[in-house]
Amino acid sequence: MKSQINIQIELAEDKMPETIQWTAPDGGVPDWQNAKAILLGLWDGEEKSALRIDLWTGKMMVDEMNDFFYQTFFGMADTYLRATKNAELSNELKEFAKSFLKKASDAIENEAK
């Protein structure tokens, strides 16, 4: 059985993403959904290296990017725990995520002053 996740990027004249859309028909998302950012990581087992695609639209606000990274770090911690059963490192990553969000939020507040 095969399954597809489709990602569609529309670029502006400056080659920056203007729109990001995705769909996953077999995952219960049959219609195109809009997104402001995407972080895609792939593991090349032969090369033993990570491949990444990180894109965001100009509509992505800094506070949204902070929340996006916080939720990504937290989700990575859960995935790491499921994959390795290493609760200690998973919890460390979650603590880092919380610290990151606080520092990022403080930076926005300090910028506003």
23 and 66 together in one domain? no
12 and 31 together in one domain? yes
Specify the pTM.
0.89
CB atoms within 10 A of CB 93: 19
19 and 48 together in one domain? yes
Q: Is the pLDDT of residue 107 over 90?
A: yes
93 and 66 together in one domain? yes
33 and 82 together in one domain? no
53 and 6 together in one domain? yes
Q: Tell me whether residue 104 is exposed, middle or buried, using C-beta atoms within 10 angstroms of its C-beta: 0 to 12, 13 to 18, 19 or more.
A: middle
Could you tell me if residue 48 is left (phi over 0), alpha (psi between -120 and 50 degrees) or otherwise beta? left
Q: Are 10 and 19 in contact (CB under 8 A)?
A: yes
pLDDT of residue 74: 96
* Structural domain count, the chain: 2
72 and 53 together in one domain? no
Instruction: Note the pLDDT tens digit of each residue in 5-62.
Output: 999 999 999 999 999 999 999 999 999 999 999 999 999 999 999 999 999 999 999 9
pLDDT of residue 112: 79
Task: Give the separation between CA 40 and CA 52, rounded to whole angstroms.
Answer: 6
Q: How far apart are the first and last CA of the chain?
A: 55
The average pLDDT across 62-74 equals: 97
The domain in which residue 28 lies consists of: 1-59
Task: Give the separation between CA 46 and CA 28, rounded to whole angstroms.
Answer: 32
pLDDT of residue 36: 98
26 and 67 together in one domain? no
Q: Are 80 and 100 in contact (CB under 8 A)?
A: no
5 and 53 together in one domain? yes
pLDDT of residue 78: 98
pLDDT of residue 39: 97
17 and 53 together in one domain? yes
CA 42 remoteness from chain centre: 13
48 and 81 together in one domain? no
Q: Is the pLDDT of residue 113 over 80?
A: no
23 and 74 together in one domain? no
The average pLDDT across 54-83 equals: 97
Task: Give the separation between CA 25 and CA 30, rounded to whole angstroms.
Answer: 4
